[in-house]
């Protein structure tokens, strides 16, 4: 689940010149299940957005920060069949991290892993489902389009026995590559690690190049593909990191593909817009 203010993947924001982020907000929700995947990302305009210090409303969905953590009340319609995604998500962090990291050389793109680990409780009325498990909560901000600073990136997050590891591997546009490996313990302390070697993964259906970082080059497999689009993929990996066999959430993003005008024209079919 992602809440966007100034939706970085919005074709409408791009065509409008990216001048007014609150005119282009969205809640992206993806639910993966046996035969019941649902995906929603409806963009809302300024009349349907409310922003406060500890809460955010975008259309009918709301996020609120409380002493217990983050409560998200989702009320969206999936595309392309308009099936409802409705329910409550509660994220309870183990510890909070106040440190941000520059992703580019000029400091125009920043990433903050607010709660690298915690618990999540999901109760959906539609589709009817509930579960709980390990959670992750972060934020990204930028002062320019992603495609201005990056050619592509691979990101992954894995839960180890007593810590959480996040990996970034990015090709910056006109600059040195980014390779980052961070370990967060249960109290929020950060350890900067030497990134493991890069491992190539099979291309996605749309030929998006995928890669990750792992202890060995022959011990990584894609357990399940969650998203496979012309510029973005998301998958679950079985991998080995820092001596442990783990499951990792992984994504690959191709910004050259995303910037192509044909891709921009395709996006409204998955990302409808409702201004008010």
pLDDT score for 148: 96
Cα separation values, 173 from 36, 41, 75, 103, 184, Å:
38, 28, 37, 12, 29
CA distances from 72 to 10, 17, 67, 117, 213 (A): 22, 30, 14, 17, 32
**Quick one: tokens of 39?**
């995906």
pLDDT of residue 219: 83
Please identify every stretch of the chain with a pLDDT value under 70, giving residue numbers as ranges: 35
For position 226, what pLDDT does the model report?
96
pLDDT at residue 34, rounded to an integer: 74
Collect all residues with Cβ–Cβ distance below 8 Å to 94 and sequence separation of at least 6. 115, 117, 118, 119, 186, 187, 188
pLDDT of residue 218: 84
pTM for the whole structure: 0.94
> Which tens digits make up the pLDDT trace of 231-246?
999 999 999 999 999 9
């Amino acid at each position: 689940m992602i809440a966007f203010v100034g939706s970085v993947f919005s074709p409408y924001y791009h065509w409008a010149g990216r001048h007014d982020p609150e005119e282009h907000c969205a809640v992206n929700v993806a639910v993966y299940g046996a035969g019941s995947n649902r995906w929603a990302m409806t963009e809302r305009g300024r009349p349907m957005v409310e922003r406060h210090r500890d809460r955010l409303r975008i259309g009918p969905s709301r996020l609120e920060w409380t002493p217990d953590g983050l409560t998200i009340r989702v009320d969206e319609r999936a595309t392309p069949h308009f099936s409802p995604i409705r329910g409550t998500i509660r994220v309870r962090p183990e510890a909070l991290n106040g440190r941000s990291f520059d992703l580019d050389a000029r400091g125009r793109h920043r990433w903050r892993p607010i709660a690298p680990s915690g618990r999540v409780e999901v109760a959906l009325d539609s589709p009817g489902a509930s579960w709980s498990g390990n959670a992750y909560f972060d934020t990204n901000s930028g002062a320019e389009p992603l495609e201005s600073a990056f050619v592509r990136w691979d990101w992954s997050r894995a839960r180890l026995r007593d810590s959480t590891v996040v990996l970034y591997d990015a090709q910056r546009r006109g600059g040195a590559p980014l390779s980052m490996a961070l370990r967060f313990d249960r109290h929020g302390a950060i350890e900067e690690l030497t990134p493991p070697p890069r491992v190539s993964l099979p291309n996605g259906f749309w030929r998006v190049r995928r890669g990750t970082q792992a202890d060995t080059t022959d011990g990584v497999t894609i357990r399940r593909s969650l998203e496979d689009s012309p510029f973005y993929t998301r998958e679950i990996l079985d991998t080995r990191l820092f001596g442990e066999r783990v499951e990792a959430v992984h994504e690959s993003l191709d910004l050259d593909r995303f910037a192509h005008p044909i891709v921009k024209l395709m996006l409204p079919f998955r990302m409808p817009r409702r201004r008010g």
